[in-house]
Amino acid sequence: MDAKADAAVLSAAARPRLSARWATLLVLAVVIATIPWFFPSGFYFRVAALVWVTALAAVGLQILMGQAGQVSLGHAGFVGIGAYAMALGPKYLGLDVLLCLPLGAALAGVIAFLVGRPILKLKGHYLAVATLGFGMLVTMVLVSEVGITGGPDGIRVPRAEILGWRIRGSETFYWIAGGALLIGTWIALNLQDSPSGRALAALHDSEVAARTIGIDVAAYKLRAFVIAAVYGAVAGGLLALMNGFVTPDAAGFIASVEYVTMVVIGGLASVPGAVVGAALLVLLPQALTVFHDYEHAVLGLLIMLFMIFLRVGIVPGLAALLRRRA
Amino acid sequence: MSLISVFRRGLLGLGTAALIAAPAMAQQGQPIRIGAVLSVTGPASFLGDPEDKTLRLYVNRINAAGGVNGRPLQLIVYDDGGDANRARTFATRLVEDDRVVAMVGGTTTGTTMAMRPVFEDARIPFISLAGGIEIIEPVAPFTFKTPHTDRMACEKIFADIRARGLTRVGMISGTDGFGQSMRGQCQRVAGPAGITIVADEQYGPRDSDMTPQLTRIRNTAGVEAIVNAGFGQGPAIVTRGYAQLGIRLPLYQSHGVASAQFIELATPAAAEGVRLPAAALLVAEQLPENDPQRRILIDYKTTFEREFNQPVSTFGGHAYDGLMILVEAMRRANSTDGTRLRDAIRATRGFVGTGGVVNMSATDHMGLDLSAFKMVEIRGGAFRLIGN
Amino acid sequence: MLAELLQFLVSGLTVGAVYALVALGFTLIYNASDVVNFAQGEFVMLGGMVTVFAFAAGVPLPLAASLAILAAVGVGLLLHRLAIEPARGASAVTLIIITIGASIFLRGIAQIVFDKRFHQLPAFSGADPILVAGAAILPQSFWVLGGALLVFAGLWLFFERTLLGKAVLATAANRLAAKLVGVDTSFVLALSFGVSAAIGAFAGILITPITLTSFDVGTLLALKGFAAAMLGGMGSPLGAVVGGLLLGLLESFAAGTISSAYKDAVAFLVILGVLFVMPQGLFGRRSVERV
């Protein structure tokens, strides 16, 4: 980190931000710890665990999109890499499935590093289409190499064991996923408040301006891209472990669009926004089943309404509303 | 358009009527809850939509006739959109929240395999409507399936090709689960069946033109027949492309197109002479009078087509078979306990369904043999039973 | 060999023409508003589906097609009026998510109003292929190519020869400046949605006899059209046309000569390659970031 840039972007608001960071974490921790009291059945553990895992991937994308201002329509590609590592590592390399979680994350990081270097030279929609292409390539390999990946029908993921204890059951995964999200959120919030986070924010505002004050723009973008990929891969790995099964849908274009929607609908500039966005997009399909045939129409309508009336996203939007009241 | 909405409203009305009627029957016993996770939308909606329609229709009919063991059925349907992760979540919901006693669903092999552990862990019978052989091989204690496997389709097709004195086959497959699974099985059984696969092309499930792939197959030296593994609209476009290029080789489609709608989409002219293995449902009227399936096939076909005003497909038939096997098992077991129900399903013998005569056992959770599969040829815009 | 290449060429151009029309729709709306309209594919769906259902109800084909275009234009204008206009001033990414919501909404409505099945439409002038130098060409391919040409020419005339066209161009170049010289930019935006919808629906009508249609054909077309628009250079109508045709050709030649399983991968690798050399696409404007 460059000291000059550091000084340039260090804001006087650093102190209150610090407490806001801990407040966010505290709220999240309290929510994770208390909502199980209200769960009427095991199914709720499953859905809530899914929310935490999805939110972890979304928080990763928020670092890239919200903090570094770089769009990605291929985020699910990294989720897929993490997920398939859990299936392929044990099957072909005889590795313990739990070991495959960090290995998959590392692999995603390395791939992101290699792919990111050329891709991140592109801007805006061109970057979107390049990342879209990357995501499609991942899906295509997963779909076409049937002999290795199991093809479109997917592949089994072995159940994990720690000292002979098999990790299973929605409740166990609820706590694992909740813990992972808490750690992920903590890192993301720290990143946002760190000198490099402010460098990234500068980048978001204006790349040229960031460059002129001495920020190594390319390096920071690449770092955000790699971090986002690692988040995605860890989330994918956890998802695979939780499901005991993975299909190429996990890496698909639709999933990528969903992650982007989560980040934007929750609030592009907000880490907790990504969590809220993920919760919304995971919970809505469950809640909307009462509409039967109208399910998709209502989902689309809600997305539009949220974005029209809370255009900066749910979390910052509601925060602004509250402030205006106060 | 208006016709469809009128019918939909009618269906919705029926659904609410059933819901309102449910408490009235409470004295006779709580409704028996049956779950169904289907790909009603998404890439496999071609399969999932008729399955959904069939289940709703027949649950209403069963309830109108007094239900099962004096209790009405309550069907809970969730649409997974073809996504395995979503299917898994809905499966958990069925088991943990809705407390279903059994599941008839799982439109694709991918969603079925993702959901299987949920039902196995909960010891709740799961009758899948997907084709993949891995669903029942090796046998999982609580998982069954009603459709023929894609391996059977390959064997049937290859036998027919050999009967024509041909051996060299060009394959064109969809990159969806159905196409890839069948492609794999065909590659596996080709050798034993005396068939050589000389070309292996693929297309995306939503591709709009397959003439490049077909041109390549046509130009492959020695190719004698073409086999298309796929479902939905892809095979219709393959068939159109085949006609467009004026290819003279015999074209085989799979059981994944087994609906009169395929002929309509491919156009009768292009589909002329195309052969495919399919459940007898497509040729119900052509079966001999003494065929055990004849009555039930014609009954299902007329019921479905009258209700929905669209051609029947064998996929809806799979759902019918699954539901009926389950209902019969519930009657025999006079219980909704998972293990007893499973034992009763496993004891299914001589069940006459749309897919064939089903004889399950502890080692066979499908219970169909090749005789249930008919080879049909499209002639004059209709399916014709041949050489069985 | 020549026949084979000609076959791939026709196949690629036909599919590519549709990509080009979708990409044009993207470009028009993008130029007027910076919005990448991911509901563009749904206009194509509407074109095909309304025509199919009207035709099945006994409406003559030309009238059914006109109805479909009108319906799509109506939906396009409503989309602008009810979803884009109220969010005016929101960031581009917010507007994009609105269009994604709109696309899910329109698909959801279509599956209720129509149904979830595939549908076909008879070819406009017979289904017997025409043999040209050994390649079999469907008459409908000529309809698609001719129709696309008509749209390209019409748009070119509109931009080059009409005051309104100039106003649209001015808005695309600099919205504020256009406003200052008296261009009603809000009207231009509504116009762009209407014209985009019409073009999309037109493409849907032309291609349905070849590719069939269903309530969810739009997703993949939007994706391909977006990629084509990027390849050509976002904001450039010429780029959209070239990008679309190129993408179609890439897919068909890759499927016919390299690998049909990876044809989309080949197409995307080429797009990536082009973007690495020309980060603004083939015909994109070089933008200079102001600080």
Identify each DSSP E strand in A160-250 by its residue range: 161-162, 165-166, 245-246
**Residue C113 vs residues B8, B9, C14, C43, C46: alpha-carbon distances, Å:** 10, 12, 29, 15, 11
Which residue is listed with tokens 């086999």?
Answer: B227
The minimum CA-CA distance between C274 and chain A, rounded to whole Å, is: 11
Residues B350 and B365: beta-carbon distance below 8 Å? no
Average pLDDT estimate for C146-157: 94
What is the C-alpha to C-alpha distance for residues C61 and C209, in angstroms, rounded to an integer? 12
CA of residue A110 relative to chain centroid, distance: 18
The minimum CA-CA distance between B49 and chain A, rounded to whole Å, is: 11
Residues 14-43 on A with a CB inside 8 Å of C are: none
Q: What is the pLDDT of residues A80-105, one digit of tens each?
A: 999 999 999 999 999 999 999 999 99
Residues B100 and B30: beta-carbon distance below 8 Å? no
The residues, any chain, with a CB within 8 Å of residue C241's CB and separated by 6 or more, are C20, C23, C24, C152, C232
What single-letter amino acid sits at C220? Answer: L
Lowest model confidence (mean pLDDT) among A7-16, B166-175, C117-126: A7-16
**Residue A239 vs residues A57, A214, A250, C75, C187: alpha-carbon distances, Å:** 10, 40, 9, 39, 47
**A250 vs B contacts (CB less than 8 Å):** 84-85
How much is the pLDDT for A18? 59
Q: What is the pLDDT of residues C27-39, one digit of tens each?
A: 999 988 888 899 9
**C83 vs A contacts (CB less than 8 Å):** 304, 308
Whether the pLDDT of residue A14 is over 70: the answer is no
The minimum CA-CA distance between B277 and chain C, rounded to whole Å, is: 22
Chosen for mutation from B86, B89, B201 (greatest number of chain A CBs closer than 10 Å) is B89
The residues, any chain, with a CB within 8 Å of residue B151's CB and separated by 6 or more, are B133, B185, B188, B189
How much is the pLDDT for B73? 96
Mean pLDDT of chain C: 91
How much is the pLDDT for A182? 96
B265/C255 Cβ within 8 A: no
Domain locations along chain A? 11-253
Kindly identify which residue of chain A lies nearest to residue C261, measuring between CA atoms: A144
Q: What is the pLDDT of residues C59-106, one digit of tens each?
A: 999 999 999 999 999 999 999 999 999 988 888 889 999 999 999 999
How much is the pLDDT for B101? 96
Whether the pLDDT of residue A55 is over 90: the answer is yes
A151 touches chain C (CB under 8 A): no
Half-sphere exposure in the Cβ direction for B281 (13 Å, CA)? 32
Q: How many CB atoms lie within 10 A of CB B187?
A: 17
How much is the pLDDT for C286? 59
Whether the pLDDT of residue C4 is over 60: the answer is yes
Structure tokens at A98: 């739990």
Task: Please report which confidence band the pLDDT of residue C284 belongs to, taking 50, 70 and 90 as the band edges.
Answer: confident
User: In C121-236, where does DSSP find H-type helix?
Assistant: 139-161, 163-173, 175-180, 185-211, 218-232
**A156 vs B contacts (CB less than 8 Å):** 113
Angle made by CA atoms A11, A14, A17, in degrees to the nearest 5 = 130
Q: Is B184 exposed, middle or buried (0-12, 13-18, 19+ CB in 10 A)?
A: buried
ipTM: 0.91
Backbone angles phi, psi at A310, to 5 degrees: -125, 70
Residues C75 and C37: beta-carbon distance below 8 Å? no
Task: Classify B102 as helix, strand or coil.
Answer: strand
A153/B110 Cβ within 8 A: yes
Q: What is the pLDDT of residues A282-318, one digit of tens each?
A: 999 999 988 878 889 999 999 999 999 998 999 999 9
B185 touches chain A (CB under 8 A): no
Nearest to B113 among A154, A239, A285 (CB): A154
Task: Classify B40 as helix, strand or coil.
Answer: coil
How much is the pLDDT for B28? 55
**B117 vs A contacts (CB less than 8 Å):** 244-245
**C4 vs B contacts (CB less than 8 Å):** 215, 219
Q: What's domain B2-148+296-367's architecture?
A: 3-Layer(aba) Sandwich (3.40)
Left (φ > 0), alpha (ψ -120 to 50) or beta: where does B56 sit? alpha
How much is the pLDDT for C287? 56
Nearest to B184 among A143, A146, A170 (CB): A146
Residues A247 and A83: beta-carbon distance below 8 Å? no
Structure tokens at A168: 């299973």
How much is the pLDDT for A292? 79
C193 touches chain B (CB under 8 A): no
Task: Please report which confidence band the pLDDT of residue A16 belongs to, taking 50, 70 and 90 as the band edges.
Answer: low
Closest CA to C252 of B175, A132, B228, B213: B213
Residues 65-124 on C with a CB inside 8 Å of A are: 83, 86-87, 89-91, 93-98, 100-109, 111-112
**A249 vs B contacts (CB less than 8 Å):** 82-85, 110
Domain locations along chain B? 2-148+296-367, 150-285+373-385
Average pLDDT estimate for C233-243: 91
Q: For chain A, how big is the Rg over CA atoms in Å?
A: 20
Domain B150-285+373-385 superfamily per CATH? Response regulator (3.40.50.2300)
B213 touches chain C (CB under 8 A): yes
The residues, any chain, with a CB within 8 Å of residue B289's CB and separated by 6 or more, are none
What is the C-alpha to C-alpha distance for residues B187 and C263, in angstroms, rounded to an integer? 22
Nearest to A300 among C36, C94, C105 (CB): C105
Exposure letters A67-104 (e unless 16+ CB within 10 A, then b): bbbbbbbbbbbbbbbbbbbbbbbbbeeeeebbebbebb
- Find the Cα–Cα–Cα–Cα dihedral C210, C217, B180, B150, rounded to 10°: -80
Q: What is the pLDDT of residues C199-230, one digit of tens each?
A: 999 999 999 999 999 998 998 999 999 999 99
Instruction: Return the DSSP state at B259.
Output: B
What is the C-alpha to C-alpha distance for residues C184 and C190, in angstroms, rounded to an integer? 10
Residues 272-291 on C with a CB inside 8 Å of A are: 272, 275-276, 279-281, 289, 291
Nearest to B49 among C116, C136, C138 (CB): C116
What is the C-alpha to C-alpha distance for residues B330 and C72, in angstroms, rounded to an integer? 51
Structure tokens at B352: 């006459």
Work out the percent of chain A whose per-residue pLDDT is above 70. Answer: 94
| Element housing C85 (H / E) | none
Cross-strand pairs, B173: B202, B229
Which chains would you list as touching A if contact means 3+ CB atom pairs under 8 Å? B, C
Nearest to A206 among C227, C230, C289 (CB): C289
How much is the pLDDT for B22? 44
What is the C-alpha to C-alpha distance for residues B12 and A291, in angstroms, rounded to an integer? 11
Residues 234-253 on A with a CB inside 8 Å of C are: 253
Task: Classify C277 as helix, strand or coil.
Answer: helix
| Per-block mean pLDDT, blocks of 10 residues, chain B (388 long) | 40 42 51 95 89 96 93 95 93 94 95 94 95 91 94 94 95 92 94 94 90 93 94 92 94 91 92 92 90 93 93 93 96 92 94 93 92 90 84
Residues C114 and C49: beta-carbon distance below 8 Å? yes
How much is the pLDDT for B234? 92
Cross-strand pairs, B60: none
A117 touches chain C (CB under 8 A): no
How much is the pLDDT for A17? 54
Task: Please report which confidence band the pLDDT of residue A31 belongs to, taking 50, 70 and 90 as the band edges.
Answer: very high
How much is the pLDDT for B10? 41
Chosen for mutation from B4, B47, B79, B215 (greatest number of chain C CBs closer than 10 Å) is B215
CB pairs under 8 A between B and C: 97
| Domain C2-277: assigned CATH number | 1.10.3470
Closest CA to B34 of B104, B97, B87, B96: B104
More confident residue, A268 or A325: A268
Domain locations along chain C? 2-277
Whether the pLDDT of residue C126 is over 90: the answer is no
Kindly identify which residue of chain A lies nearest to residue C79, measuring between CA atoms: A304
How much is the pLDDT for B4? 41
